Amino acid sequence: MARLIDVRVPDMGSFSEVAVIDVLVKPGDAIEREASLITLETEKATMDVPSDVTGVVEKLHVTKGGKVSPGDVVATVRVEGDAAGAGDSAPAAGASAGSSSGGGSASTAGAAAGSAGAGSSSAKPAAAASGGTPPAAPAAPGSGPVATPAATTAAPASASGANGAAAGNGASVPAASAILGGRTDLAPINETGFSSAHAGPSVRRFARELGVDLSQVTGTGFKARITHDDVKAFVKKALAGGAPAAAGGAAAKGGVGLPSVPLVDFAKFGPVETKPLSRIQKISGPRLHASWVNIPHVTQFDEADITDLEDVRTKLKQKALQEGIKLTPLAFIVRACVKALQEFPYVNSSLDATGANLVMKKYVNIGFAADTPNGLVVPVIANADRMDVYRIARALGELSEKARAGKLSAAEMQGGCFTISSLGGIGGTAFTPIINAPEVAILGISKSSHKPVYKDGAFIPRLMLPLSLSYDHRVIDGAMAVRFTTYLAGVLADPRQLTEAVL
């Protein structure tokens, strides 16, 4: 006999009035249990609301562009006989529906527990309907335990029984350590990237169980949605040694990940406004974070005397401008870096996937950080070693313009060997740039200024350019780094070396 069952929006911690950005089904559609019905977007994450029953959509109660809150009915589903499965017995039984699906990693369990504690009774059937709090929704301040990287990376290791929630659900999905043959050296999950990944709840749960960071997985589904198969393919690649390695393997090997920072309800202390990160920030943030936690950074500071170089540049500048070339200090710095990289080939290398070999590059492609209205991008001057300073200046101008207009192609941001981050046009005296992995060094440039330099028994004013070289200490040691900056400073002090023709 057929029954009509309402599927509701689950408890989402402190979120309410959440935007419906996609409606994935229509009346008459036959749906399976766990099929995504709608996609919601909070300021922190997108998440799908799945059906907890198998049946036919009788009526939709939401529209794309509308707003919903926990407990709202999403759809009424006609369920025949016992087709509904565990989730349909009654709304109140939904919690068991969640666990019977094999879901509920440490993090989702933690978030759900927090939500339940904070939630109203009307929210509980909703949470039940989805089989638990959506994994993508970060726990709200005060709503309960927050999934820390430790918890998420510990989940796969729960074969050891360390994690009750995951261990209890381990029957339907093999633990990651089993799949990986005892290896658990996947990189720790980046929570920000994981939250914003385009994937449904069951895929998220699956990824959690395997310890897979969804932000690292390429989606092959509709609109680049990540599917179960994509996660499996990622794990297979990990088995073959192609996945990003954990930071020193600490998270996986010792079960200890990054400590989490405290969550604060800022609104308690005064008025606030929440603004989403830009698209570029969402992409670059996880990459910068990955570099920061994976690479042992050291920064070597130095200064180059560019008094003579500035004299030469001033003389050449007008003539170059007539040719449409803006001869800025950065063009000379790129040229000087090419020479230094040729002199110190280890700085022009990368570690291979095993971490046991260095890939020595026989080409020199220089990336430079460009500040654009949409955020930071790094265009790459390909084959900079085949260019004189004028061609470099032209390439810098063209790529900067494209960057600011948001018109850089993917190819124009790939293949870099070494990056320069120049803040010299703005100010500052020194900073510690983050290495653009898998490169092994990055040069930060600050504003040049006149300083008294003691020479031949007297102080004389010289124009000094601050250099900040961050390097990967696994590849470059301190002696090599300071030799590199000393050499670079020497080249920058001698404009003849920088204006010569390049064949």
Contacting residues toward ligand CAO, per CB under 6 A: 328-330, 368-371, 376, 396, 400, 421-425, 445, 447-448, 465
Residue 3 CB, nearest distance to ligand CAO (Å)?
57
Is residue 128 within 8 Å of 52, Cβ to Cβ?
A: yes
Residue 464 CB, nearest distance to ligand CAO (Å)?
10
Nearer to ligand CAO, 169 or 422 (CB): 422
Nearer to ligand CAO, 215 or 422 (CB): 422
Residue 415 CB, nearest distance to ligand CAO (Å)?
18
Query: How would you label 286-317 residue by residue, b for 16+ Cβ within 10 Å and e otherwise?
Result: bbbbbbebbbebebbbbbbbbbebbebbeebe
Closest CA to 165 of 117, 220, 68, 95: 95
DSSP string, 213-250: -GGGPPP-SGGG-B-HHHHHHHHHHHHTT-SPBPSTTH
Is residue 469 within 8 Å of 485, Cβ to Cβ?
A: yes
Nearer to ligand CAO, 24 or 376 (CB): 376
State the DSSP code for 433. P
Nearer to ligand CAO, 183 or 317 (CB): 317
Is residue 337 within 8 Å of 488, Cβ to Cβ?
A: yes
Per-residue tokens: 354: 């095993």
As a whole number of angstroms, the distance between CA 479 and CA 487 comes to: 12
Nearer to ligand CAO, 218 or 322 (CB): 322
Residue 241 CB, nearest distance to ligand CAO (Å)?
31
Catalytic residue among 61, 289, 297, 473: 473
Nearer to ligand CAO, 368 or 484 (CB): 368
473 is catalytic: yes
Nearer to ligand CAO, 33 or 394 (CB): 394
Residue 277 CB, nearest distance to ligand CAO (Å)?
14
As a whole number of angstroms, the distance between CA 439 and CA 418 comes to: 6
Is residue 153 within 8 Å of 255, Cβ to Cβ?
A: yes
As a whole number of angstroms, the distance between CA 82 and CA 398 comes to: 65
Residue 433 CB, nearest distance to ligand CAO (Å)?
6
CA terminus-to-terminus distance, the chain: 83
As a whole number of angstroms, the distance between CA 32 and CA 40 comes to: 20
Half-sphere exposure of 173 (CA within 13 A, CB side): 30
Nearer to ligand CAO, 151 or 465 (CB): 465
As a whole number of angstroms, the distance between CA 362 and CA 351 comes to: 15
Per-residue tokens: 171: 């029957």
Q: Please give the residue whose beta carbon sits closest to ligand CAO in the complex.
A: 424
Q: Which H or E run includes 492?
A: helix 478-492
Residue 389 CB, nearest distance to ligand CAO (Å)?
12
As a whole number of angstroms, the distance between CA 244 and CA 314 comes to: 47
Residue 279 CB, nearest distance to ligand CAO (Å)?
16
As a whole number of angstroms, the distance between CA 337 and CA 484 comes to: 9
Q: Which H or E run includes 380?
A: strand 380-381
Residues annotated as catalytic are 473
